[in-house]
Structure 1
């Protein structure tokens, strides 16, 4: 069934778009103000990248992407930094990203799509701007489903928890049932067969399969790290000064190794750095490579993030860590397709009976 056209706001490198397209939802265009994402978005997806701040986009502009007679889906994942637990206790009311959810809400009102989806960090629900977003949807006649989703239950090899919202004017809507309840995909299943690397090395056949360098001190540290363990088991002379303080003892997962037999931790924009979380390779003495991080975010093995051989850990790490996991995008797409099929079929039956 191919009857849904979508536009992806805050599209980044195309994780949500790729997932929706896997589910045969035809994404026509993406919008994002990060020009670094243009190549990745357009090279891997048959959709147009528009480098533009969503606050400056109009509903009239978006309507041009939808074909006549198609069900319209407006999708978006507004930048989550203001809603992150890392910002709790900090005044974020002046953060320029706060108005972006309001911009999304304005575009929904102007476009009036039959379907809307939004993905964000779970703590987005603690903020008034989110409550206003949901209230505006309901005022416009949308049925709304919104819950915290454990991505491992849907086949993502990562302990990522996200808030997913689905809204429809066709009738009640919900996410499909978990596909991997109790049978989680592990790190080894996803990255276990990639060529081994040392710290600072790269695979000659895949420019993205490269690992960041390690200082002599961090090389000693990772050699003393066990999968799933913490820096607390290191020899005392290797423990960082900040972790010797009482305040530092609450960060046990930094400088950690992943476990082969479990899903990975949540990928962040700094997932290529050993000291930034539990991003040490389960067996090799290095942090995970950019390709491994992308695979754990469920990007295809041939997904390209930059043109040519130019590789920037910072830029690509940001694209990978900020992305909606492709698998989650696919689950959202499958849920929307099932919903549209159910309600269009019901409408067809009702029409025939009348």
Structure 2
């Protein structure tokens, strides 16, 4: 028996890939047509709604519920809303941010109230903890008064647990800090242990969080993980003729010289000899960080966070550990633990592994690593089986 799930803000389908083994996905939502094309290449597009979640009417959601659940409640609601507005790079302060994307998290509550899922899985950047709208989200989804009773009788209540995790602790060969929130539907009241509280710095916490969390599983090193895929050696600007996604950006003459003078497996711009005049003037100024820019990854360690700029040697430690080039799209996707057969598209017509490399890089960088999601999905599945 497969349990039922909904995947909101599904993106390229990283969490859906993790869901497929144990859950029947009855609905996925993605508003961007090109990203939705990537999703459709890898998953059943019949359950995919290509629409702004705010414009999906209650009537449509109730129809999905009636057709798929036969009067039962949903087993799992997945929600991985856009994180850019919550990022540490956001110029707005957390207390007065006006980024419209941040309000999308409240749509999760609307869907939750209709489907009353047994479990909730939520992922975002760790900095979301500092945002007032996230505090409001916690209080509304929890739906408990200070005495542990339901605040709104006709809405579900949840015991929550949220922690900042590093993906490397869940089988992903990448340092990637994210906030994971899980919730389990409460049916017995009062439940004072699950009420949202705040510490002296105004950060929310729960006195007794949900006693459910997957065990940590240390990831293999980057070199150990990638060696099984036997990727072809390519040069800067080349594409593997057997895999269009194994393609990397070209390098200018200066940047090619820079990476050639960067030690293999973890070297950085601090290793360049001054006599070569390879450094940038802006990097000589005081208080300039970004030490990873123009650096190489290290096969004997873990990848840095794969971002939307992961194909650019100039935007982080995205140089290949051994070859004189930046990492390819395929390598970035593998580091995000997508299967080697996973297809991406940067085109509206959905041709696999073709189109805008920037668009594909954004899809890969924004995805939840499949193995990170799998750790939690398997945990929900195991708990559901008990009942």
Q: Same fold (TM over 0.5)?
A: yes
Q: In the superposition, relative to structure 1, how do residues 308 and 325 fare at CA in structure 2: closer, same or farther (>3 Å)?
A: closer
TM alignment of 1:81-160, pairs within 5 A: 81-87=84-90, 93-139=97-143, 140-160=156-176
Report the 3-state secondary structure (helix = DSSP H, G, I; strand = E; otherwise coil) of the residue aligned with 1:191. Answer: helix
RMSD: 1.8
Partner-residue secondary structure (3-state), 1:214: coil
Q: Which residue of structure 2 lines up, in the alignment, with residue 321 of structure 1?
A: 365
Is 1:271 the counterpart of 2:313? The answer is no
Shift of residue 70 of structure 1? 6.1
What does residue 7 of structure 1 align with? 6
> Structure 2, unaligned stretches of length 5 or more?
144-155, 188-209, 346-350
Correspondent of 1:79 among 77, 82, 89: 82
Cα distance in 1 for partners of 2:109, 2:292 equals 37
Instruction: Tell me how far 1:175 sits from its aligned partner.
Output: 2.1
Residue of structure 1 equivalent to 2:233:
196
1:230–1:256 contact (8 Å) kept in structure 2? yes
Map Cα deviations across residues 229-278 of structure 1 (whole Å, 9 max, x no partner).
32122133100121111132x11011110000111111001101101111
Count the aligned residue pairs: 337
For 1:339, the equivalent position in structure 2 comes to: 383
**1:275-301 CA distance string (max 9 Å, x none):** 111110000000000000000000000
Which residue number in structure 1 is paired with residue 20 of structure 2? 21
Q: Counterpart in 1 of 2:200?
A: none
Q: 2: CA distance between counterparts of 1:89 and 1:43?
A: 36
* Partner Cα separation in structure 1 for residue 225 and residue 48 of structure 2: 29
Greater RCO, CA 8 A, separation 6+: 1
Question: Take 1:154 and 1:317, find their aligned partners in 2: how far apart are those partners?
Answer: 23
CA apart distance, 1:60: 4.0
Q: Secondary structure at the match of 1:110?
A: helix
Asked whether the equivalents of residues 207 and 311 of structure 1 are also in contact (C-alpha less than 8 Å), the reply is: no
Closer, same or farther: CA 119–219 of 1 in aligned 2, 3 Å = same
What CA distance in whole angstroms lies between the structure 1 residues aligned with 2:323 and 2:215?
36
Partner of 1:38: 36
Quote the Cα distance in structure 1 between the aligned partners of 2:353 and 2:295.
30
Quote the offset at 1:59 in angstroms.
4.3
Other-structure match for 1:161: 177
Aligned to 1:243, which of 283, 302, 311?
283
Q: Structure 1 unaligned segments of length 5 or more: list them.
A: 345-354
Q: Say whether residues 1:56 and 2:93 are aligned partners.
A: no
**Equivalent position of 1:261 in the other structure:** 300
Number of the residue aligned with 2:244: 207
Per the alignment, residue 291 of structure 2 pairs with 252
- Structure 1 residue 29: Cα displacement: 2.3
**Where in structure 1 do 4 or more consecutive aligned residues deviate above 6 Å?**
none
Structure 1 counterpart of 2:267 = 229
